[in-house]
Chains A and B, each alone.
Chain A
Amino acid sequence: MSNNILEVKNLKTYFFTGRGVVKAVDDISFSLKKGENLCLVGESGCGKTATALSILRLVDSPPGRIVSGEILYHGEDLLPSSSARLRQIRGNRIAMIFQDPQSSLNPVFTVGNQIAEQIKLHLGLKHKKTIERTLHLMEQVGIPRARERMKDYPHQFSGGMRQRVMIAAALSCDPEILIADEPTTALDTTIKAQILDIFRDLKQKRNMSILFITHDLGTVAGIADRIVVMYGGRMAEAGTALDIFDHPQHPYTQGLISCLPDISTRRDRLTPIPGMIPSLINPPEGCIFNPRCERRIPICSREKPPEIVISGEHLVACHLYSQSASPEDRIESSKNAKR
């Protein structure tokens, strides 16, 4: 318990739009341990980014609002905190990296300037020390010729290099937690591998806790300790990387994994999950995945599934594994599966 540095409990973040209430995050709970890499996985629009932004209380308000829940950082609830306290934590204790390195750097300042900004803001170092630290950070994330490059502007950097700059800025104050919101999505495959290496390094060398958000299970495979699979603003399944990859329980997780190309088994086609992600304004009754689920049973469209412990840390929110599902339900499910 004590090694949980971040705990999210029953978080609900809703967006109050003109067309209705979007329940972007609906009752999500997870915890992050020291030196652990936790991955939030899910399709676009399933509330991953909203979860991440909620942790730092960065949800745009209006229209967004954190309706209820707790976000405990070392036992301190961040939701009622003052904005001054939040500014101390942001960047300093919990840092965040965004998806698009193209637009997450200010185009009118040199990159060195932007990394140094964080250092000055939080650590209050002297000018010379700040420069040294900036250089050191840039070298750490693998930017060659850092001394010259720090005087360059963001547009003079390639996408991968810019993402490295973002990581350097996020690391500038040695945060305990790094939230990375799809940091590799906008990058080429080769660059992606390099960036993932940096994350692996950070975890090992600095014992940093990383909350890694991605839509791509393939990216996650190499770096995740634990994985939370999200669907429609809710948790579908959570467990260690082994649990999720080797014994996926939730039909959605199974579907995601069968979407992955695999070299070892030769398949002509990947199996897509049928249907579209549901509207979060009018989510389907019961289990939010039920309209697309191949193993749907009658109870799925009636009741919200409970979270069931499969083993140890492996949780799944699915009626198939619950006691409340009747024997008839089970039979129907296996029929559906055969079809």
Chain B
Amino acid sequence: MGFNSYSYIILLLIALLLHHALPWRHGRWALLIASYIFYGAAKPWYCFLLLFTTLVNYLAAIGIHKNKEQYLKKLMLFLCVFANIGILIIFKYSNFIIVNINAVLSVAHREPLGFFNIILPVGISFYTFQSLSYTIDVYRNKLSPIKDFMHLALYVAYFPQLVAGPIERAGHLLPQLSAKQRVTIQDIEEGFQRVLIGLVKKLVLADRLALMVNDVYTKPAGESGLVLAVATFAFAFQIYLDFSGYTDIALGSARLMGVHLSPNFNWPYLIKNPVEFWSRWHMTLTSWFRDYVYRPLGGTMRSRPWRTFLNQMVLMVLIGLWHGASWNFVVFGLINGIYIALYHRWRLAVGRNYPRLSKKYKWLGPFLLIAGFLHINFIMIFFRSANLGVAWQVISGIFRNGWIWPAKYSLQLYIVLALIFVHIFKEKFAALFKKIKSPAVVRAAFWAFLILCIVYGAVEYTEKFIYFQF
């Protein structure tokens, strides 16, 4: 069930009604049932997977907490991580691994292995990581294990953020779900507005950009360089609006229940260096990898630059692979890793002179922003392309295929230009947004405007949310 469907609106309304009308404890159960209905709507067996993940983490956390011996705690954690990541590997990466084994076997003229007939359950990467963070935090003594299984089940399956994040930490979300939250009128207004904004981002803008991007990236060879370049910009905005639209709907839906989820985006295309992107884009995933992978690996070690480089590359390749099982995403991660490592080396070389240099070369700011935006677009080519061959066709086509502009894509070009404009004048737009908050009639007019945008502007055959596939 997607957020961009009537079914979701009905489910959300029923869940809200039950949540507010029933006594608190029963309201929690209603939310849990709604979450399982939400997840099992496409394939009911997904629910068993979700339940299994919850059960494993529940038992592991209790086991870790109860056992005094360190080696037993470690063993419990290892088994739990093994079970969680094992499921993820089976469902998400097994066929990718087989493809690569078969490539090796074919060189040795051996019989290839058969593929698994597996459908990737939506959002498996999200809830696996979220539930793992709970168990790891218990292991690190940051949290006490939760006794009420229902609360943990709700934390893992909480439907507004189940299938595409934000990847919440138990320390942030569990207390909100396991204690009664006061829902204010402000929560309801903010939540409602956020849902509407999310729907406009997804249905009107992202899906409309997708009409061009899908066509161009299916057959890039025949397109002109200008079309390929604009399609790449369009994809960068499509994926941002798609994912941030989803996140807005998630945050808004949770807010209607008085729950505050973590923000996931902060103008990710307004960056002056490659590190900044990952602190603004899918922030909850980056912080997850930082806390549970990068730091345990050793993080940044001033005395051992090669080890730092290796950690950064491992981190970025894992982030790349998290997005999908293909070499594209490995390359996507590697390029990011190289950029970040180079930037890191430069920062270390500059050392204490950095504040002075950044002041002196302040005028370079706009150029760095443009360079940052182009850098993101470059890595997005690997994200969008079906394989490395397509990515190469796009990159080479931009420079080789001439710069003819077919007018049929003009609407998408205008949307891209408008979005660049919004990014440039983001402060002005933010100020305008603040003004909308005041009189009730202005706010209602703004909401009515958003509703009209959805009624008249939504693309009929809407795309699935891109991040659902992860």
Q: Do A and B come from one complex?
A: no
Show the binding face of B for A, using Cβ within 8 Å.
none
Show the binding face of A for B, using Cβ within 8 Å.
none
